[in-house]
Structure 1
């Protein structure tokens, strides 16, 4: 074999190896049931939704995942997700392709995925659907942005405009960070203080470094619940020019595993309609808000 043929053979072998490495087997519904285990992807270090306490998974999403697994007669295996640059990347890494550092690790289902038609059918610059290999389903919670403040330093928060005069803490590179730095022609930017995490921004409020903080409602309510300080209050303000202030969260599976999605929906719906999910959130000090799909159901029931 001459040198050119040897190089070509090596190149062909490498391409085949890479192609094989790039194929990750998605478990079929029957295989999942036979295994006795439901693999659920959840974000790590993301209280109150999913986190570890003394090495054990904790949080409302973890408890929901346990209930979903039990409803299918399975035990739960948590696959911790470290956020990539975008949610599209997270779905690729854990639902349909696998991460290059962990190519053999795929979840059966991922929680805390936006239940949003616009996101589900988002297209790239070539007009291709970015998440065509993913099915998003099962909305289970409505989330929104929320501010909290210390009433010893602010009497009330009728509008975010008050943060022209009072410092507020936010997580760096978060939606509240970009919003507060740009709204009202940037007049709040000098009073917007950035911290590595929501919990550190909240701690800064407790220590008097800032007078308020802003994050997702669940995060803020959980921290207020942990603090047990009557002087720390939820703000009752809206957020002008913010864009999407309220959104629904659900689950995602590989598009070939719709049978799993249908089975999970059958377990989820009674948890929502019978109030079990609301009780779960209440135990964590959180407000539970029905996703839009079930608010429509309640409206229809009330109308009849």
Structure 2
């Protein structure tokens, strides 16, 4: 929740005290190494990225975090994040301030944070940087939107326009929901069915309630692998008039902990360039796409040859 203008002056002294407390709670790089543990924040109940099976953390982000911790000679300690209203709130709760319910619990690093200059330098209504206490770094994956369909009820999806005539399931209050309800003048809105999660929407497609579904590519890949049904297919359509169709994901640390960021980047880069991260993704049935930073390097190398 953002403070109103009239509260800013009243809270100046409290903010000074809070800033001092933040310095105490944020672990310095040497303290992290001495502790033998790397505390990594990742989203709970978020397959295939981070989730729990038989009491054990699983997912591509978990596997990557284990390798990052191991590369620093540390053990992994997962701090599960229950999403707040915005990503800014999540960064505040786990990277630089702490949640009011557990003010002394902060992560050393958080995963699945957009690696995006516009987001990094976003400002509030006062012109202040919203995430000035956060450093976003280490892009490790490119994500995009993906549709899937059941070929017993829908022959192909050459364009999203077919969803004007076929029911499609999406997560409630998600980007696919907003997009499909508004594109083409809202002509597909009457065919939208909303579910509490991408998993529920996919299950509805399996049950015949809807003919298709749309979610993040990693989620769709994972669900198709779990279903193991030859009638459930990936759509190859584009998404006209959609804002951000692809985005890169990276990590975030407290602004005072750039040394940790540099160390993690040193472990991450060979994981990407040697194909070890892609192998982790393949193990969960996911297609791995290099983030833009590494695609640019590959393109430059190809051009040089």
Q: Shared topology, TM-score over 0.5?
A: yes
SS of 1:240's equivalent? coil
Pairwise CA distance, 1:244: 0.3
Aligned to 1:4: none
Q: Radius of gyration: which is bigger?
A: 1
Residues 29-178 of structure 1 aligned to structure 2 (within 5 Å): 29-178=29-178
In 1, Cα distance between the equivalents of 2:94 and 2:106?
5
In 1, Cα distance between the equivalents of 2:234 and 2:18?
52
SS of 2:282's equivalent? helix
Aligned to 2:187: 187
* RMSD, aligned α-carbons: 1.5
Question: Runs of 5+ in structure 2 lacking a partner?
Answer: 1-12
Further displaced range: 151-160 or 22-31: 22-31
In 2, Cα distance between the equivalents of 1:179 and 1:267?
37
Aligned to 1:241: 241
- Residue 22 of structure 1 contacts residue 103 of structure 1 at CA under 8 Å; is this kept in 2? no
Pairwise CA distance, 1:94: 0.2
- Residue 68 of structure 1 contacts residue 264 of structure 1 at CA under 8 Å; is this kept in 2? yes
Q: Which runs of 4+ in 1 moved over 3 A?
A: 18-22
SS of 1:119's equivalent? helix
In 2, Cα distance between the equivalents of 1:98 and 1:55?
25
In 2, Cα distance between the equivalents of 1:80 and 1:110?
10
Pairwise CA distance, 1:301: 1.5
> Closer, same or farther in 2 for the Cα pair 1:20/1:255, shift >3 Å?
closer
When normalised by structure 1's length, the TM-score is 0.93
Pairwise CA distance, 1:23: 2.5
In 1, Cα distance between the equivalents of 2:204 and 2:133?
42
Pairwise CA distance, 1:20: 5.9
In 2, Cα distance between the equivalents of 1:251 and 1:148?
29
In 1, Cα distance between the equivalents of 2:20 and 2:143?
35
Pairwise CA distance, 1:122: 0.4
> Closer, same or farther in 2 for the Cα pair 1:64/1:109, shift >3 Å?
same
The Cα offsets for residues 57-77 of structure 1, whole Å up to 9 and x where unpaired, read as 000000000000000000000
Pairwise CA distance, 1:22: 8.5
SS of 2:301's equivalent? helix
Pairwise CA distance, 1:224: 0.1
SS of 2:193's equivalent? strand
- Does residue 213 (structure 1) correspond to residue 213 (structure 2)? The answer is yes
Aligned to 2:5: none
- How many residue pairs were aligned? 290
SS of 2:110's equivalent? strand
Pairwise CA distance, 1:300: 1.4
SS of 1:184's equivalent? helix
